A and B are shown apart, each in its own frame.
Chain A
């Protein structure tokens, strides 16, 4: 069975600082990986996804993530955060192969302070 571990439940940073949100997964098969963001009182929004190809994936709002198969990680990064990036971030995994079922991590609350 697949599982996702987000190592940090909360990450506070100052505005314009870099940030990395960590995500590790476990799976016995090849996986597809996703990062979603949930702003207060809103639905989840896809930030980026890795299906195949380049291991460095660029998403919306200046975020990027790198797939590392040997370390089974898919960490999310942004070089300079804004106050508006304050939100809950979820890492998710799918086994693909036609199945779009997602298994989510517990989420990381990113708080950007002025």
Chain B
């Protein structure tokens, strides 16, 4: 099946610094990728939809200047947490959906997630 990878799997950074997380679709091209945030014992919350070659679409309440998303190619999307603070500590997950004959397949493949800890 389709594989989505994330790097790094975990990262610790100091407050005020920026962290970049990569999401790659390894064996398919994805015009659209999704970024989620998962708090302990809670569900996944969609942060933004990443579109190749255009600006990301952010969900209500998500600061676009803080969570920078770049979908540089059909297999890579990056999430940069800028000026990170302890409240940004969380589990960040990306997903991608391979198209089916040029149409949405509605079958998202998820990366293994990135654990971010801001000290």
Contact = CB atoms under 8 A, between A and B. Distances in A.
Interface of B: 4, 32, 34, 42-46, 49, 93, 95, 97, 104, 106-113
A104 B44 contact: yes
Nearest to B42: A106
A42 interface: yes
Nearest to B46: A101
A81 B112 CA distance: 25
Given A46-B108, A102-B44, A102-B46, 14 more contacts: A43-B4, A49-B106, A49-B107, A90-B44, A98-B104, A99-B104, A100-B34, A100-B97, A100-B104, A100-B108, A101-B46, A101-B49, A104-B45, A107-B42
Nearest to A92: B44
B112 A43 contact: yes
Task: Determine chain A's interface SS by DSSP, over half rule.
Answer: strand
A57 interface: no
A32 B109 CA distance: 16
Interface in A75-114: 90, 94, 96, 98-107
B32 A100 contact: yes
Interface of A: 32, 34, 36, 41-46, 49, 51, 90, 94, 96, 98-107
27 contacts: A42-B112, A43-B4, A43-B110, A43-B111, A43-B113, A44-B95, A44-B110, A45-B110, A46-B109, A49-B106, A51-B106, A90-B43, A90-B44, A94-B106, A96-B106, A98-B104, A99-B104, A100-B32, A100-B34, A100-B106, A101-B46, A102-B44, A102-B46, A104-B43, A104-B44, A106-B43, A107-B42
Contact of B93 (A44, A96, A98, A101): A44
B104 to A, nearest CB: 5
Given A90-B44, A104-B44, A43 B97 contact: no
Which of A43, A45, A90, A94 is the most central at the interface, judged by chain B CB atoms within 10 Å of its CB? A43
Central interface residue in A36, A90, A101, by most chain B CB within 10 Å: A101
5 interchain residue pairs of minimum CB distance: A44-B110, A43-B110, A43-B112, A104-B43, A106-B43
